[in-house]
Structure 1
Amino acid sequence: MDFLYSGLLSITWQQWVMYGVGLLLIYLAIAKDFEPALLLPMGFGAILVNLPNSGVLTQMLEGLNEETTGIIEWLYNVGIEASEAMPILLFIGIGAMIDFGPLLSNPKMFLFGAAAQFGIFFTVVVAVLLGFDLKDAASIGIIGAADGPTSILVSKILGSQYIGAIAVAAYSYMALVPIVQPFAIKLVTTKKERMIRMDYNPKSVSKMTKILFPIIVTFIAGLIAPTSVALVGFLMFGNLLRECGVLDSLSQTAQNILANLITLLLGITISFSMRAEYFVTPQTIIIMILGLVAFVFDSIGGVLFAKILNLFLKKGKKINPMVGAAGISAFPMSARVVQKMGLKEDPTNHLLMHAISANVSGQIASVIAGGAIIKIVSEILQKMA
């Protein structure tokens, strides 16, 4: 009992806060079904790394004068710190899950993937004005893409000191898409606009087109934003596994076993950055708020872009502005939100395929935006050095 009593006394108030954060994440995962594959391991990991003298962290053994390697710290050093392997490998599974067919049959939806990244760059500017370093501001801004792996990778490559808070914010807002996006959409649309009907007459997409698409996108991304090749390339490689037609078993493995395993390990590994001394700070609260701003303005950016296009489109050809909000990376949650909102306004108005096209475009746009952010910020910092 003395050991238990002394252990309890050694817990700081910041660690108690992190236990609360961990339990909240676990609650949201189990009770609310909010991204359980990520929030549950992150929540449990937050408890593990904040236990006094936790064995999941590397430490010196008292009296033996030797170091013991902590498993979570080792996973972080190998899978994220040294190689960024975990978030990059996850993109193979994500790519294998995505069918680019609806997007290729309706290519104008590519525009919404680009427009819905507005919140990223807006928030970077706001964060800099609030006093964050450029590398931290850029890492915070990428939260708006609602793309957890990209947020982790950008913050790691740029060397942000807030990677834990950024990861929690990114995955939390991914989980909160059904709550946050309707609010953002209704801020800038009228009921009449939300009732706009869109015909869906998909063009057939050949197998050769689907095979060439990931290869061409990788080339273009490599020329425009070379630093995005790791992200875009692995995403497109996963999609090529899906579309080539001769590697069905590998495609299924990537979609299920690989994606689930990496997601599980990534969730508990990122908790290394959720240690109380680094996480329980005023900056964490500000980051959560800025992440929400980025996410909301990404959604609004896509909606406003659709409204601008409608100024030049004939009656009967106009775009339902809600589709623009689906240009973020949260696939397929955002598309489902748009479909649900459309049916609520008009039970006969189905927007899912249009929204899916924009949502798939957002997957590509978010990783390209991440690569562009890395390139731009790295060049600026080099010139300032």
Structure 2
Amino acid sequence: MEQSASFFSFLLDNLTQFLSFTGFSNFTVGHGIMIVVGLLFIYLAIAKEFEPMLLVPIGFGIIVGNIPFTPGYQIGVYESGSVLNYLYFGVLKGIYPPLIFLGIGAMTDFSALISNPKLMLIGAAAQLGIFGAYMLALLLGFSPQEAGAIGIIGGADGPTAIFLSSKLAPELMGAIAISAYSYMALVPVIQPPVMKLLTTQKERLIRMKPPRQVSKLEKIMFPIIGMLLTTFIVPSGLPLLGMLFFGNLIKESTVTKRLADT
């Protein structure tokens, strides 16, 4: 009888210890809120097709990052020695953003910009958002480095936001990455009411003239000249801009199609 009680006590202790290691035991309201946010992003990507290439990985990443666990078992992103921590090294050291830019370059057709260079003014105007966000962040009490990392979100460029925050404010990188990619992915929701507010029905019915045909030589020269001009002006942009234009060159050269497809 005594052995039986001892056995059940041992079994109960083991069961209690097991339950203390489960996600249910370590669950908090914060975990629940973020998991719901991740599920919402996945829903918008699949059901509404809002930037699925952004929202599917971001949404699933949010869920993975908010699975509750007992610290000290090399599971979490911030636990030294964990698999996720090794993967996070690529974020901290700015390895992933240049690789993303390589892919963006290989998928981008700059024909519209080459045929109508005035479109660069639209891109330049978009950068005003950087300075607005920077000044607002300073007013809210962030340091100049943190404000700079936050401000770059206004440039509408996720990889650049991650890259810059890894240099200026690594502690804000997660929040900045989520903010940058989330609002870009939600542009299809944000843009229509703004367009209706700032334009008339007649203006929205205007049909744009088709752009002129761009030659193969122009498409090949654009990434070469673009890289030289931009990196000579801002050499610190070489990791990102160099990869962006390199990706575009392997696409437009047409002699490295398998590499561009990869």
- Name which structure has the greater RCO, CA cutoff 8 Å, separation 6+: 1
Shift of 1:218: 0.8
Question: Residues 206 and 48 from structure 1, CA distance in 2 versus in 1: closer, same or farther, beyond 3 angstroms?
Answer: closer
Residue 79 of structure 2 corresponds to residue 74 of structure 1: no
Gaps of 5+ in 2: 1-14
Q: Deviations over 1:41-74 (max 9, x none)?
A: 33333333332136532788xxxxxx7x211111
Question: Residues 4 and 26 from structure 1, CA distance in 2 versus in 1: closer, same or farther, beyond 3 angstroms?
Answer: farther
Q: Equivalent residue for 1:34?
A: 50
Shift of 1:162: 1.8
Q: Equivalent residue for 1:92?
A: 102
Paired residue secondary structure (2:171):
coil
Length-normalised TM-score, structure 2: 0.82
Shift of 1:124: 1.2
- For residue 190 of structure 2, the aligned residue among 180, 185, 204 is 180
For residues 362-377 of structure 1, what are the structure 2 equivalents within 5 Å? Answer: none
8 Å Cα contact 1:139/1:160 also seen in 2: no
Structure 2 CA distance for aligned equivalents of residues 181 and 128 of structure 1? 27
Shift of 1:12: 3.1
What amino acid does structure 2 have at the position aligned with 1:56? I
In our comparison, the structure showing a higher alpha carbon Rg is 2
8 Å Cα contact 1:48/1:56 also seen in 2: no
Q: Equivalent residue for 1:344?
A: none
- For residue 57 of structure 1, the aligned residue among 46, 67, 76 is 76
Q: Equivalent residue for 2:248?
A: 239
8 Å Cα contact 2:126/2:154 also seen in 1: no
8 Å Cα contact 1:98/1:239 also seen in 2: yes
- For residue 30 of structure 2, the aligned residue among 14, 17, 20 is 14
Shift of 1:89: 0.7
What amino acid does structure 1 have at the position aligned with 2:60? F
For residues 192-231 of structure 1, what are the structure 2 equivalents within 5 Å? Answer: 192-200=202-210, 202=212, 204-231=213-240
Question: Residues 193 and 44 from structure 1, CA distance in 2 versus in 1: closer, same or farther, beyond 3 angstroms?
Answer: closer
Q: Deviations over 1:201-223 (max 9, x none)?
A: 51x43322221111111111112
Question: Residues 36 and 194 from structure 1, CA distance in 2 versus in 1: closer, same or farther, beyond 3 angstroms?
Answer: closer
Structure 2 CA distance for aligned equivalents of residues 143 and 185 of structure 1? 21
For residues 215-294 of structure 1, what are the structure 2 equivalents within 5 Å? Answer: 215-253=224-262
Structure 1 CA distance for aligned equivalents of residues 77 and 216 of structure 2? 51
Shift of 1:236: 0.3
Shift of 1:95: 0.5
What amino acid does structure 2 have at the position aligned with 1:70? S
Structure 2 CA distance for aligned equivalents of residues 150 and 249 of structure 1? 27
Q: Equivalent residue for 1:43?
A: 59
Gaps of 5+ in 1: 61-66, 254-385
Structure 1 CA distance for aligned equivalents of residues 154 and 123 of structure 2? 13
For residues 338-349 of structure 1, what are the structure 2 equivalents within 5 Å? Answer: none
Structure 1 CA distance for aligned equivalents of residues 151 and 140 of structure 2? 13
Structure 2 CA distance for aligned equivalents of residues 106 and 58 of structure 1? 45
8 Å Cα contact 2:106/2:249 also seen in 1: yes
Paired residue secondary structure (2:27):
coil
Shift of 1:134: 1.9
Q: Equivalent residue for 1:170?
A: 180
Q: Deviations over 1:102-151 (max 9, x none)?
A: 22111222221111222221121112112222222222222233322122
Shift of 1:75: 0.3
Q: Equivalent residue for 1:328?
A: none
8 Å Cα contact 2:77/2:88 also seen in 1: no
Does 93-102 or 27-36 show the bigger shift?
27-36
What amino acid does structure 1 have at the position aligned with 2:86? W
Shift of 1:248: 1.3
Residue 133 of structure 2 corresponds to residue 127 of structure 1: no
Q: How many residues align?
A: 243
Structure 2 CA distance for aligned equivalents of residues 209 and 183 of structure 1? 37
What amino acid does structure 1 have at the position aligned with 2:167? I
Quote the sequence identity (%). Answer: 49
